[in-house]
Structure 1
Amino acid sequence: MLPFTSDQFLANLVAYNEAIWPMQPVAFACGALAVVLLLWRPRMADRLVAVILAVMWLWTGIVYHWLYFTEINKAALIFGAMFVTQGALLVYCGVFRRQLRFGRDFGLAVSVGIAFVAYATILYPLLGIWMGHPYPEMPAFGVTPCPVTIFTFGFLLLAKPPLPWWLLVIPFIWSLIGGSAAFLLGVPQDWLLLASGIIAVPLIALSHSHPSGAKITG
């Protein structure tokens, strides 16, 4: 059982979305920029993508979890700490250590990664509208936990080996927590979240165990 009702969750989400406007379109623009950087490949592209992902995790941890979600669920204090930690890890690994490099050879991992990115940015909001939860009742891309996690898994699937394994731990944990809650809250667009970690983590591990032949076609 959750410590809050579906109505309380939606009311909290509405209050959050209305308070942070216009951060939603800014977050979407940042996500689009990350995709452009992945395709364009200018100098500093990898570090800029890492920064974009990190900002999404930090914002979601601090603003969504700590400032808003704690009003209906005190466990959000822990969730927020998880998201802030993931943001810090992305900065450390992607910016300072330069351990995140994107643009690997096409294969199954890349196909799934592209699908996750497309789902988080395009299909996720469309599915929410179709299921009767338009904005502001919609978990918005880039500023709420579930689409941020799916989007991040997409980019981690697109990362070249070797990938620091600890970057997968918190997204995987949240995929189980948030994905399970989605069924109880009636948020069908989040159902993929539960499967995202189960799909992405083994696929990354398998494809990165063959670094010279990341073209695992399945």
Structure 2
Amino acid sequence: MLPFSLEQFLAVFASYNAAIWPAQIGAYFLGGLAIVLVLWKPPHADRITTGILAMMWLWTGLVYLGAFFSTINKAAYFFCTLFVIQAAYLLYSGVYHNRLRFGFAPGTMAWVGVTLVIYSGILYPLIGMAIGHPYPEMPMFGVTPCPVTIFTFGLLLLTVCPVPRALLVVPSIWSLIGGSAAVLLNVQQDWLLLVSALVVVPLIGLRDRQTLPNVQAI
């Protein structure tokens, strides 16, 4: 049993989206920039792309979870901590140490990554509207946990070097926590999130073992 109703859940999104406008436009801009950088590869593209991901996790943790979702569920403070940890590790591993290298290497893994990226930014909100959750009562790309997690999984599949394993922990945890909304609240766009870790983590592990040198996740 959840400590809040579907109506309360959707009301949080409505108040959050109203309060942060037009940050949603900025999130789409940053997401588009990340995709361009993955494909174009100018100098420092990998660090900038990782920094964009870190910014999304940090904002979502502090602002959505910490300031808004916590009003109906005190467990949000724990979730906020997880998101801040993920942002910090992205900065440490991907920006400071430059251990994330993005690129499009044709194959199953890359196309699954592309599918998740498209889903997070385009299909996710469209499905929400189709089931009766129009804006502003919907999770928006780049500023709410579930689309951020799906987008992150998509970009981590669009890597050309081993992914530090610690970067998969928090997204995998959230895929179960956030994905439970698909079952408990009938948020149908979260069905993909619920199974995303079960697809992405084995794909990354298989790719890294078979085609890339081992890396220690620190």
TM range (shorter): over 0.9
Shift of 1:13: 1.1
How many residue pairs were aligned?
Answer: 213
RMSD of aligned alpha carbons: 1.1
1:179 aligned counterpart, secondary structure? coil
Q: Residue 89 in 1 paired to residue 89 in 2?
A: yes
Is the 2:70–2:76 contact (alpha carbons within 8 Å) kept by the matching residues of 1? yes
2:178 aligned counterpart, secondary structure? helix
Counterpart code for 1:131: I
Q: Residue 196 in 1 paired to residue 176 in 2?
A: no
Partner of 2:14: 14
Is the 2:102–2:159 contact (alpha carbons within 8 Å) kept by the matching residues of 1? yes
Is the 1:162–1:211 contact (alpha carbons within 8 Å) kept by the matching residues of 2? no
Partner of 1:32: 32
Partner of 1:118: 118
Runs of 4+ in structure 1 off by over 2 angstroms are none
Counterpart code for 1:204: I
Q: 1:148-167 to 2 correspondence within 5 Å? A: 148-167=148-167
Partner of 1:74: 74
* Structure 2 Cα separation of the partners of residues 119 and 68 of structure 1: 25
Shift of 1:211: 2.3
Is the 1:53–1:90 contact (alpha carbons within 8 Å) kept by the matching residues of 2? yes
Shift of 1:110: 0.7
Counterpart code for 2:94: G
Is the 1:30–1:52 contact (alpha carbons within 8 Å) kept by the matching residues of 2? yes
1:210 aligned counterpart, secondary structure? helix
Q: Residue 54 in 1 paired to residue 35 in 2?
A: no
* Structure 1 Cα separation of the partners of residues 211 and 93 of structure 2: 19
1:105 aligned counterpart, secondary structure? coil
Partner of 1:208: 208
* Structure 1 Cα separation of the partners of residues 115 and 127 of structure 2: 15
Partner of 2:216: none
Distance 1:104 1:208, change over 3 A: farther
2:105 aligned counterpart, secondary structure? coil
Shift of 1:14: 0.6
Counterpart code for 1:196: S
Q: Residue 64 in 1 paired to residue 64 in 2?
A: yes
* Structure 1 Cα separation of the partners of residues 47 and 28 of structure 2: 19
